[in-house]
Structure 1
Amino acid sequence: MQRFKSAWGYCLLCIVGGMVWGSYGFAQDDQSELIQLEAITVTAEKQEEEVQKVPSAITVFTETALEDAGLNEIGDVIRQVPNMTFGETFLGKSPIFRGLRASQFTSKTPVVMYVDGIPFDNSYNFYADLSNIERIEVLRGAQGALYGRNSIGGIINVISKKPDNSVDAKITAEYAENETYMTKAYANGPIIKDRLFAGLSGSWSQTEGFMDNTYPGEDTFDDNESWGAKAHFSWLPTERTTVAFHADANHLSNDNGSIIRSDEVRYYDIRDPDDKAETDAANLAMNVTHEWDSIEFHSVSTFGESEYQYRQNINYYAAADKWIGFFDTKITLFTQEFRFQSKDADGGIKWLGGVFYSNENEDIIESSSIMNSLATIGYNTKGSRNGELVSDAMSIFGQTTIPLAYRIKLTAGLRYEHINKDLDIDYVKTRVDTGALLASSNLALEDDWAAFLPKGTLSWNIRENTMVYFGVSKGYLPGGLNAQASDKDTAKFDEQTSIDYEIGAKTQWLDNRLTINVAMFYMDIEDMHVYSMPAPSVWVASNAGSATSRGIEVEARARPLKGLDITAQFGWIDAEYDEYEGYEGNKTQGTPEYTINLAAQYRHASGLFGRAEMQGNGETYYNDGNTDSQDSFEVYNLKIGYEASRWDLYFYCKNILDEEYFSYGRSCGIGTLKEVGDPRTFGVVASVNF
């Protein structure tokens, strides 16, 4: 509790300090427009609008903000958002937001990420290449009316730079402790002036990691390597038509990650050197836009294919002999959206409407376990599942914003969605030594779900730089079919829903040198997706009765002096189970009591740059029983450098106080897997602009 009070005090101090310094700057500088905060335009609600005018909680990261903070991975970005955190194990990766976490047996994340229109909502391929990025928009809260299923917690829009007639190119290289290397580059420019443009980018990184492997002859077990390539083409066949094409490919290899089973942080453990966790993916998207005088038409077509493989020797995690797990799944996803919307409303009525279709095929090539049963029955056994899960979704949606009296606006949206799922899984159990068949079965099941997803928001522009709003929306995560189930009776689980209430304010002060946005929320969650493991390698999916989540989120930006920027994000949350047998009143798993991010940076006209920041989380429970937790902690980072017209050079130190902490944890059948946070790390970054 004392740390919570301290964190709240830090946040208030930053905001108040920004206001005081902003007042000083306003009084002393005759050219106040030179130090105003830049206006940021977003497409959060599928129409361009200045972020301070959108009646919704939105966090935006520009290209400059990403580079200044050194945010190279989507998980780094997520941890900068109030009440949002991110975790990764060999069971997948997922954001956790406002008490919501990934659904284990649909593999769907509560926050859906779109990269140039390509959706990523599966915990096995939740990844984005952040090179050549224009901005990232994080919409907080249920977004079902516009974005549909699985957006029960929010949306992350990753938007690549749009190439034009100007030539823009950059190469960046980074080196840090633990044999960590990273390089990325991009180039944008015209192929045919005024008609055809291209943007190309690529990235590569690797690290030896910091977790010592005590297995004989091994060094570390959290080493990883990744590479990615991306191309973006923009074609203007007419003055009113734009065709944008996106293609990317990437590879991720992360053998074990810094995952251990321990109550105390340690930087060593023993791991099987044959363990692996790898993802290969390729994605395509085409966005066609045609404009008339007052209407726009959008067609967004996407296709993605990814394969996720892991091999994990669970014996090294558990206190007693368990099993070796193998998993190999290939996911293909096709989506098509057609949308019409109003253009250039100028304070009048805005509207949009469209249809959406998606087809997702999960080919389970292998899902098997070798059980250590030699001591009990005289031989080891292997249980294997393979087959496929096919999901088809159709929806129709619309939204309109209507100006009312006294600068009040009403936004109303509605989406109807229907999803069908078809599961066909073969199960085979054999002896490992002889290969003899011990048992076999087939699980074939089909089901569908449908929902109306409404949204309503009232906003009031009290004055030019002050808006308050109140919104209600429905969140929805379809039910699923558990491919690990042994029979039809336990294979199906129901949809998860929520009713979200949010009241907020967006304000700008001191001649636009200070922005303070506040959002308070209450979520009534029904049938939350949960799971248990009553026996080794037996996974049971089910629904908890209900839960509630309430809290507050504060974001502030200040520019008190030219070159000086101060940012603060603070979130406090109380999320607990109301009905969940044996866990009533307990906090939801993986949700920090609070999150806090403070940063101050100064960019001098001479080229000198300095940045200091603090990130902190409140107490976090890692299991539903609330018996395993991480105490509150803070991590401090520093960065200094020099910026010339054509090149930049920075030195940084992350976790300068060498805080020992777990950055993530999740309960599973072998106990609680915990991700060890990075120790103190020194590094250098250099870049060249062309």
Structure 2
Amino acid sequence: MNKKVLAFAMVSIVTSGFLYGANEAYSLESVTVSANKIEENIQDVPQSITVIDEETLQEKGIKNVADAMREVPNMYINNAANGSTISFRGLNTSMFTNNNPVVIYVDGVPYYDRYDFDPSLADVAQIEVLRGPQGTLYGKDAVGAVVNIITKKPSNEWHGNVGAEYGNYNTVQSSFNTSGALIADKLYAGINGTFKVDDGWIENEYPGMDSDANQKRDRKMSGFVLLKPTERFSGKVSLSDTYTKHYFMNGFATDSTGNLSGVDRDDGKHISSDVPTVERTAVKAQSLNLAYDFDAFKVESTTTHKKLDLESDFDADFQANNTSDGLKQFNYSEIETWTEELKFSGQTDAFKWVSGLYVDKEKREQGPYGAQAMSGGAVYDANADSTTDSQTQALFGQVMIPFWEKFELTLGGRYQRIKKEIDLVTTQTWGGMAFPDYAFEGEKTWNAFIPKVALSYKINDALTTYASISKGYMPGGFNYFATSGGMEENSFDPQTSINYEVGAKYVGDDYMLNASVFRMNIEDIHIYKISGGGAVWLTDNAKKAHSQGVELEGKYFLSQHIELSGALGLIEAKYDDYDAGTRTYDGERIENTPRYTANMGIAYVATAGWYGRVDFNAIGSTSYYDGANSQMIRSDGAIISNAKLGYKFKAWDVYSFINNITDESYISSYQSKTGLAMVGFNDPRRFGVGFRYSF
């Protein structure tokens, strides 16, 4: 079927639902957020915030964090081999800290590691995406943004929902969530879970291998107990248990010429890989939140513990029938993290304030970690075993001072000390002959002050403007794989940035519009490059870079039930001073950063009867680092269209959906070394049916 005809047909199906009535109208309401770690109206917060409520999650079929981030201007996530990597406003994942520039918080539990970046959304009431650096209140790694996930508050009555979907590629997803009171007004509990099975769209034709090359198996469970013995005191224990098993990658291996013209997703639907490629992650997390409301202030303690186990084995070249047959790459890691935050907050007629103490401790035991390769007619085998200990201590505070009736000044700061130690041993063999072991021990301490200043002006009840200056900070670290050199060669410095933002927020009776302009001057930006004769990947620092752009978000009710929504992010992100050793990249675009991201949707919303929507997501051209040829290469963008049509009756919601209606293809990741490149792609067309029952 012609793509345009198919797209038109889906739009017609959904818009035909507009002919049906519903029993309740939708309207814009004030939104409460906790961006400053105290509850405020979103209009009063001097920064750009994207809010996604539970109803929007359901309407758009948002099942995971990656789907939610596609709603945010200038935010781009790639779930490739080797975890989930993020690009936001020109900031990328720091590969050998494994930290993403965007940090997720769920009930105080941080998610920042690229192998642990997809918590469950089964119990979500609201997602707040706080754009711009959030280090003042949220810590050392929130250099780009924070995704603050607010879970539902239980009531005395037990409520919940169950749901399931089935789609092509034998995709099955199911979820459940329930919570309520064990003792009215005193003791509450809840439990939820999501499960997913997906056979994937790539077929492995190598004899004896599982034909479902990029299949996925996910299980996410969590629960809580909430005790409220008095009006002033509460205690909440939350537990989560996640297990994922992802095979191969959403793409394929190709030559390393650096030529992307003619490379298409269809080229990877049938591959031949001779070594099983699978990434298994198991994450168990616990948190304890204790809070007490005094007359003048509130004190809150949040203690978290998390343990991540990663077991990854990869085909050395993601293909067969060549000299590397039977060889593999491997990455086994155990990461244990403790955090404690003691927070004080209060509000008077004169000002609002929040302050506190924060400490964390992380132990990362990595190994076996390395690869096998054919070299000179024999197998070369390298493995690095390392233990990295990290400790952080911090003091933070922020005060919001209203003055002259319509102005509010925000002053904030965080002083922190970060210490990291590494003990690494690398072993190498060639043709069974062992080389001398390489050992490296390193220790570094960084002290930093992270300030923030913002000024807001409330023109009227509907329109607020603001301007802010803040510092972004991503800590330095050590490369986990090294075969020679000392501290200078095997460590990298913290990345810092000065961020300027000006914006406005308007909320009317039937439409809202948010707009912001930002500029970020970055120093010692973390980059991921290849060296060591084109064989070893490492993290290093580029001296200077910048990014600047515009972000818009809006929503408009054409009628009581017809809603228009959209977002646009435009960005220029370039290196100003980057000498990679083999060449300079001054003036070139920062990799993994699309020129623009955009989404637009039209929906017929209803609490009962027919509803439906059509959404469009666009991504601009993107540059990727081509390590094999020491250059940046560029891929084209694309426009993806999605549709959903459903019917609500009583407690039931039955629906059908189709994503990527026109089966558009675009490159979502690229990595190369001499003789080999790996290209990742977006998903092909997916469609299915589902239901949700609420009680």
TM-score normalised to the size of structure 1? Answer: 0.91
- Any conservation in 2 of the 1:162–1:234 contact (CA below 8 Å)? no
| Structure 1 equivalent of residue 448 of structure 2 | 451
Does residue 243 of structure 2 align to residue 251 of structure 1?
Answer: yes
- Any conservation in 2 of the 1:110–1:152 contact (CA below 8 Å)? yes
Whichever residue aligns with residue 441 of structure 1, its letter is: Y
| Structure 2 equivalent of residue 144 of structure 1 | 135
- Any conservation in 2 of the 1:663–1:675 contact (CA below 8 Å)? yes
Cα distance in 2 for partners of 1:328, 1:669 equals 25
C-alpha displacement of 1:75? 0.7
| Greater Cα offset, 616-625 or 200-209 | 616-625
- Any conservation in 1 of the 2:69–2:76 contact (CA below 8 Å)? yes
| Structure 1 equivalent of residue 435 of structure 2 | 438
Cα distance in 1 for partners of 2:413, 2:436 equals 49
C-alpha displacement of 1:440? 1.0
Instruction: Give unpaired runs (5+ residues) of structure 1.
Output: 1-32
Cα distance in 2 for partners of 1:617, 1:531 equals 23
| Structure 2 equivalent of residue 84 of structure 1 | 75
Cα distance in 2 for partners of 1:235, 1:268 equals 54
| Structure 1 equivalent of residue 511 of structure 2 | 514
The share of aligned pairs that are identical, in percent, is 32
| Greater Cα offset, 212-221 or 579-588 | 212-221
Change beyond 3 A, Cα 1:606–1:368: closer
Alignment match of 2:480 (pick from 483, 487, 492) = 483
| Structure 1 equivalent of residue 305 of structure 2 | 303
Change beyond 3 A, Cα 1:667–1:288: farther
Residue-by-residue CA offset, 1:30-81 (whole Å, 9 max, x unaligned): xxx9643122211111000122221111111111111111111111111111
Whichever residue aligns with residue 223 of structure 1, its letter is: Q
Cα distance in 2 for partners of 1:571, 1:261 equals 31
Change beyond 3 A, Cα 1:668–1:111: farther
Cα distance in 1 for partners of 2:391, 2:400 equals 30
Secondary structure at the aligned position of 1:149 is classed as coil
Change beyond 3 A, Cα 1:541–1:677: closer
Change beyond 3 A, Cα 1:479–1:321: farther
Cα distance in 1 for partners of 2:467, 2:370 equals 49
Residue-by-residue CA offset, 1:623-652 (whole Å, 9 max, x unaligned): 276642221210111110101121110001
- Any conservation in 2 of the 1:490–1:541 contact (CA below 8 Å)? no
Alignment match of 2:663 (pick from 649, 653, 658) = 658
- Any conservation in 1 of the 2:564–2:603 contact (CA below 8 Å)? yes
| Structure 2 equivalent of residue 594 of structure 1 | 596
Does residue 527 of structure 2 align to residue 525 of structure 1?
Answer: no
Secondary structure at the aligned position of 1:586 is classed as coil
Secondary structure at the aligned position of 1:125 is classed as coil
Cα distance in 1 for partners of 2:162, 2:539 equals 47
Cα distance in 1 for partners of 2:95, 2:562 equals 44
| Greater Cα offset, 408-417 or 323-332 | 323-332
Cα distance in 1 for partners of 2:643, 2:631 equals 34
Residue-by-residue CA offset, 1:572-605 (whole Å, 9 max, x unaligned): 0000000012111110001110101111111246
Secondary structure at the aligned position of 1:45 is classed as coil
Cα distance in 2 for partners of 1:383, 1:537 equals 11
| Structure 2 equivalent of residue 26 of structure 1 | none
Whichever residue aligns with residue 607 of structure 1, its letter is: G
Q: How does 1:381-400 map to 2 (within 5 A)?
A: 381-400=380-399
- Pairs aligned (count): 649
Change beyond 3 A, Cα 1:352–1:318: farther
C-alpha displacement of 1:606? 5.0
| Structure 1 equivalent of residue 427 of structure 2 | 428
| Structure 2 equivalent of residue 497 of structure 1 | 496
| Structure 2 equivalent of residue 186 of structure 1 | 177
Cα distance in 2 for partners of 1:670, 1:414 equals 48
Q: How does 1:294-373 map to 2 (within 5 A)?
A: 294-316=296-318, 321=323, 324-343=328-347, 345=348, 348-373=350-375
Whichever residue aligns with residue 541 of structure 2, its letter is: N
C-alpha displacement of 1:666? 4.6
Does residue 646 of structure 2 align to residue 641 of structure 1?
Answer: yes
| Structure 2 equivalent of residue 214 of structure 1 | 205
| Structure 2 equivalent of residue 561 of structure 1 | 559
Does residue 651 of structure 2 align to residue 683 of structure 1?
Answer: no
TM-score normalised to the size of structure 2? Answer: 0.90
- Any conservation in 2 of the 1:586–1:626 contact (CA below 8 Å)? no
Cα distance in 2 for partners of 1:552, 1:666 equals 29
Instruction: Give unpaired runs (5+ residues) of structure 2.
Output: 1-23, 255-259
Q: How does 1:541-552 map to 2 (within 5 A)?
A: 541-552=539-550
Residue-by-residue CA offset, 1:255-297 (whole Å, 9 max, x unaligned): 1121224531222322235111111100001111100122000
C-alpha displacement of 1:236? 0.4
- Any conservation in 1 of the 2:534–2:673 contact (CA below 8 Å)? no
C-alpha displacement of 1:138? 0.6
Change beyond 3 A, Cα 1:274–1:320: closer
Alignment match of 1:94 (pick from 85, 106, 113) = 85
| Structure 2 equivalent of residue 14 of structure 1 | none
Secondary structure at the aligned position of 1:67 is classed as helix
Secondary structure at the aligned position of 1:623 is classed as strand
- Any conservation in 2 of the 1:254–1:276 contact (CA below 8 Å)? yes
- Any conservation in 2 of the 1:125–1:308 contact (CA below 8 Å)? no
Whichever residue aligns with residue 601 of structure 1, its letter is: A
| Structure 2 equivalent of residue 238 of structure 1 | 230
- Any conservation in 2 of the 1:622–1:672 contact (CA below 8 Å)? no
| Structure 2 equivalent of residue 471 of structure 1 | 468
Cα distance in 1 for partners of 2:405, 2:122 equals 44
- Any conservation in 2 of the 1:212–1:219 contact (CA below 8 Å)? yes
C-alpha displacement of 1:156? 0.7
| Structure 1 equivalent of residue 58 of structure 2 | 67
- Any conservation in 2 of the 1:587–1:626 contact (CA below 8 Å)? no
Whichever residue aligns with residue 422 of structure 2, its letter is: L
Cα distance in 2 for partners of 1:149, 1:670 equals 38
Cα distance in 2 for partners of 1:449, 1:606 equals 56
- Any conservation in 2 of the 1:78–1:95 contact (CA below 8 Å)? no
Change beyond 3 A, Cα 1:605–1:302: closer
